[in-house]
Each structure stands twice: as structure tokens, then as C-alpha cells.
Amino acid sequence: MGAGERLSGTVPSGVASINKATPRGHAVRGCVDGRQGACGTESCDIARGTTGAHRDMKDTSSKPGRLRIPRAPTTAMLVWSLVALIGLLALIVAWQFVEPAPPKQVRLATGSPGGAYELTGDLYARWFAQKGVRLETVETAGSVENWELLLSGAVDAALVQGGTAPAAAADELEAVVSVALEPLFLFHRLLPDEPEERASSLSDHLEGLAGGRIAIGAERSGTQHLMRALLPETGLDGRLEEVGAELVTIGGREAADALEAGTVDAAAFVMAPQAPLVERLLAAEGIGLVHLRQAAGLAQRLPYLSAVTLFEGVVDPRRNLPPRDVHMIAPATYLVVRQDTHRSVLQLLIEAAQRSPTPHLVGSANDFPSLEYTDIPIAEDARYFFERGPNILHRHLPFWAASLIDRMAILIIPLLTVIIPLFRIAPAALQWSMRRRIFRWYRQVRLIDEDLARGDLPRSRLESDLALLRRLDQDVSATEVPLSYMEEFYNLRLHIAYMRQRVRDLLAEDRSDPENGT
């Protein structure tokens, strides 16, 4: 083949046949030289693993302590290291959005001992215990104190009375669900020959207590808050001194004891009809319950109130308590939490309200729990849990396991959206890197081929090309490539050997040229 011939993708005519390497990298077998017979060309040396480059170099592969540094694994290491780094960064970013684990203990502010709030808190505590969380109930004076404890962070949740929310509540707190209506009970000592229940307006009743003492609830209680809101509605806030009525700030058991002892003439209580204290006063001799004719009107004027009827015998059918229907007004009781309360606590509170409902002796039992009757906005997570219920994990797994999977889903799903594309891109990147390396070597071979095609090259240029091919062959032979690229690898080595043979042939022709004096 003359110097003007160009490099092609075929094996030169001097090589009759060369078996390609197997995919597992088995040695090349069988080589017949068309001109010299048995394996005389450098192409056949490749089959033996002894190219011209190897003949020019001393074999150091068998010397102890001498290891070749593989280049392809280094590239793979860089690619996979980059994948690992990106995955780690994605993990760090996703971790910022993972919620902390649910708390093992929750503090719930309830109310005074013996009241409906305390009974409700005990029901919820039993439900929480089934889920592996301890619910600690905190006795308080009432709703006003409960708001204060929530705002100060002393408790995690509280049962509060509608209409008692302070101005700062909406900025730091959120409602969960309303759980019941709790009527305002106005008990009073009966005058001689006075019926136990009489229909009257609130102002008529209070004016009838001229010179009497009225227990309006303890300080920081929801009862006192409601009574002080009702006084302006009746027009009695400025007339108490005129009628000689005295307001006494006691409530709960203390107020009931005082009423029975006669140290107060009337007492107000906001509590559920099933509370033991209510049944006690309904059954007490000489104590009556006020029947409010204006219940519907007051509920219309104060939106956090509802007009309800306490039906005859609903508290105790055996003793027929109360002995007749009584019209009353009732604020709602609802659950409130801090805005930073763990969402799992919201779910447990809603489940407790649904699975351990407060008995309803006024209004409809189907109305509660409810997302209505609250003074502050409902938490979005609470609305979601209330409307959709527990997910499949919480229905079939223990609470701690379902919560763990919920938390990890926030971590795993974004992580998979990053890792899966990376694992698809990485092999393609490795393939591109290996092909780029092979093409770079072929570019060098191609440049020498074009150099030879121009012809009439000086001997020094041919020797330079031969040295370049030798170094190129050393570089290629020292590179370890994946098994899937063995075909391209051995094709490249064949073409390098072919080009080296061409250069040697041209050097031999140059020595035998008569014009060179040889």
C-alpha cells in the first residue's frame, strides 16, 4: 500500500484474518500473514499481546509492587462520586423539610376539677395512651387561663369556650375542631312558693335578686367572661348598684357549695349537662334553674352563642331531671393548639374527638365534632385530617410506624426524583467518556494518516510519526476499558499497528531509494 492510501476501517490486506476479542475479553486467536506466513506482522503481535510498543519496553508487569493505574475505573469513580455527591446534597436539602418525630407527651389544659372539660380530657388521654402517646391533663380555672397557658407555651393544646379568644390568639394559635355545646346554667335559691323553673328574661331574673349575691364564675374562667359579656346586653352593667346585687367571683364546686349553703343567692355555670355538678344542683332542694325566654334573641346578637333546649328528663330520666323543658344559651367548646404543634398531634386530637365523643344532651349529636363554632381559623392540617380521615398507613399500622413512614416519604420521594435520573445519566456519561477517549486516539491516528497521504515526507517526519504511534500504542495498551468496549479497543490497536507498519514500510522504501544513495 502506497503512501497515498488513506486509513480505512478495514484490516490491511497483509492480515488475512484476526478473530475479535470476545465480550469477556478473551485473547485474540489465529493470525495468518498473507506475505510472511506465520504471524510476521505487528497485527499478529496484538494477538499475542506483544506489539511493537511492548517489544520496545521492558516487561515490568511481573515485578512486585508495580501496578498499572487504570484510567477507565478512575473515570467511573469520578462519575459515581459526582452522583453520590449530588445525592448527598439532595438528601441534605430534603432533610430540611422532614418533620421531627411526634412528641411522646402532650399537655392539654382542661378546666376545674369535676367539670366537663376534665371529663373530656380524661377520655382523650385514654385514646392517646392506645397510640403510645401520654396526654397530661392540666387543671385550670377555665378558658381564659387556658388561652394564657397556650400563648405562653406552657401547654400544647387546650379546651376553650367560644367567645373567649384574646386578640393575640389568631396570630399564634389555631383551632382544631369544636367538640360540644355547653349551656349556661343559672341556678338560684327559690323564694317561698316559687316554682323551680320559671320563664324570665335575664334582666328580670337579676333584678329579682335585688340585694342578693351572684356567683359569676372564678377569675380567668369562661363562665365569668360570658357573664360579663351578657350584662351589657341586658342593660344591667350600670344598674347593679341600683338593684343592690353583688357579683362574687367564684365558680365550680366552690360556687355550688356556696349556693347550697345560702351564702350566695344565684350562681352561673358553663358546663355540659352530664357534669356531676349539674345533676347535683338540679336535684338539690330549694334550688331552681332559670328558663330564659330571650335565649334565641341573645344567640342572634352574640354569634358565638347558640339557643338550645334542655329537654325534660334528659339529665336523669329516673328522677325526671329537669322536670320540664328549659330554654338556654350555649357557647361551643373547641380544641386549640399552637401553630407549631406537630401535625400528628392534630390527627390524634381529631381522632380522639371522633372516637371518644363528648356526650351530647343538648343539640344534635351528629353536629360534633365540627369545623364550625370556633373564634379563630381552623388549622389547615386539621381540616385535611377531619375531611379525609386517617390515611391507609394510620388505619393499618401502629401510630409510631405510620408516623415514621409519613416523615420518610417527605425525604424519599424528592430524593428519588433526583437519584433515578442520575442513575440513568451516569452510564451514558461513562459511555460518552470512553467513546471520547477512543475517538481522541483515533483523531491522532487520522492526523498521521493524512500526513502520510500527502507523500514525499522527509525521513525525520516519518520517524517522528513512528515515535508518536509508539507512544499512542503505549497509552492505549496501558488503559483498562470495560468489557463492553473491547471491540472498539482492539479495533483501535489494530489500526495503530497498521499505521506503524505503513510508516516502517515507508522508512524501508526511503533507505532503498537510489536517489538517497543507498
Q: Is residue 501 part of a domain?
A: yes
Is 124 within a domain? no
How much of the chain exceeds pLDDT 70, in percent?
73
Q: CA-to-CA distance for 11 and 23, rounded, in angstroms?
A: 20
Q: How confident is the model at residue 203 (pLDDT cuts 50, 70, 90)?
A: low
Q: Which three cell numbers stand for residue 167?
A: 386578640
Cell 323551680 locates to: 196
Please state, in angstroms and rounded to a whole number, the distance separating the CA atoms of residues 93 and 357: 41
> Residue 199: is its pLDDT beyond 90?
no
Q: What is the tens place of the pLDDT at every residue in 150-193?
A: 999 999 999 999 999 999 998 999 999 999 999 999 998 887 76
Q: Are 364 and 62 in contact (CB under 8 A)?
A: no
489 within a domain of the structure (yes/no): yes
Contact 248, 214 (CB under 8 A): yes
Please state, in angstroms and rounded to a whole number, the distance separating the CA atoms of residues 281 and 261: 12
Whose grid coordinates read 328580670?
204
Residue 277 covered by a domain = no
- Which of the four pLDDT bands, split at 50, 70 and 90, describes residue 307? very high
Distance from C-alpha of 443 to C-alpha of 364, rounded to nearest angstrom = 87
Can you give the pLDDT at residue 479?
74
Check residue 240 and give left, alpha or beta (phi > 0: left; psi -120 to 50: alpha): alpha
Q: Is residue 492 part of a domain?
A: yes
Cα separation, 512 vs 94, whole angstroms:
75
Residue-by-residue DSSP string for 136-190: EEE--S-HHHHHHHHHHTS-SEEEEETT---TTHHHHEEEEEEEEE--EEEEEEP
Kindly tell me if the per-residue pLDDT of 15 is higher than 50: no
pLDDT band (50, 70, 90) for residue 478: confident
pLDDT for the residue 66: 32
CB of 465 closer than 8 Å to CB of 7? no
Question: Which range among 135-149, 379-393, 411-425, 490-504 has the greatest average pLDDT?
Answer: 135-149
pTM of the model: 0.61
Which pLDDT score, from 0 to 100, does residue 72 have?
44
Residue 332's nearest CA partner among 301, 363, 311 is 363
Q: Which cell goes with 131?
A: 397510640
Among the listed ranges 92-106, 148-162, 297-311, 359-373, which one has the minimum average pLDDT value? 92-106
Per-residue model confidence (pLDDT) at position 61: 40
pLDDT value, residue 13:
39
Phi, psi (degrees; rounded to nearest 5) at 159? -95, 125
Record the cell numbers describing residue 104, joined without a space.
411522646
Burial 19-42 (b: 16+ CB within 10 A, else e): eebeeeeeebeebbeeeeeebebb
Residues 6+ apart with CB under 8 A from 208: 200
Angle, CA 245 vertex, CA 241 and CA 281 arms, to 5°:
165
Q: How far is CA 104 from the centre of its chain?
A: 18
Phi and psi angles of residue 466, each rounded to the nearest 5 degrees, phi first = -65, -40
C-alpha span between 57 and 80 (Å, rounded): 34
Residue 155 contacts residue 149 (beta carbons within 8 Å): yes
Q: Which residues contact 114 (CB under 8 A, 6 or more apart)?
A: 252, 253, 275, 276, 277
Say if CB 35 and CB 14 are below 8 A apart: yes
Determine the distance from the C-alpha atom of residue 113 to the mean position of all C-alpha atoms in its chain, rounded to a whole number. Answer: 39
**Looking at the DSSP assignment, which residues form a beta bridge with residue 122?**
none
Mean pLDDT score of the chain? 78
Mean pLDDT highest for which of 174-183, 199-208, 460-469, 503-512? Answer: 174-183
Backbone angles phi, psi at 198, to 5 degrees: -130, 145
**Is the predicted pLDDT of residue 9 greater than 80, yes or no?**
no
Looking at the 3D structure of the chain, how many domains does it have? 1
Residue with cell 442513575: 423
Report angle CA 34, 470, 435 to the nearest 5 degrees.
Answer: 90
Q: What is the structure's pLDDT at 70?
A: 41
pLDDT tier for residue 361 given thresholds of 50, 70 and 90? confident
CB-based burial of residue 183 (10 Å sphere; 0-12 exposed, 13-18 middle, 19+ buried)? Answer: buried
Q: Is residue 219 part of a domain?
A: no
Pick from 74-78, 99-103, 122-126, 129-133: least confident: 74-78
Strands 184-189 and 287-289: antiparallel
Q: Let me know if residue 310 belongs to a domain.
A: no
Does residue 406 surpass a pLDDT of 50?
yes
pLDDT at residue number 260: 95
Cα angle: 409, vertex 411, 412; to 5 degrees: 65
Which DSSP symbol is given to 484? Answer: G
Altogether, the residues listed in the chain come to a count of: 518
Distances (CA, A) of 299 to 33, 215, 304, 327: 111, 22, 7, 12
Looking at per-residue pLDDT, the higher value among 5 and 315 belongs to 315
Structure confidence at residue 10 as a pLDDT band (50, 70, 90): very low
Residue 20 in any domain: the answer is yes
Convert 340-373 to b/e letters by CB count within 10 Å (16 or more is b). Answer: ebbbbbbbbbbbbbbebebebbbbeeeebbbeeb
pLDDT of residue 22: 36
Percentage of residues in the chain with pLDDT exceeding 90? 33
Average pLDDT rounded to a whole number, residues 423-440:
77
The domain of 461 spans 15-75+428-516
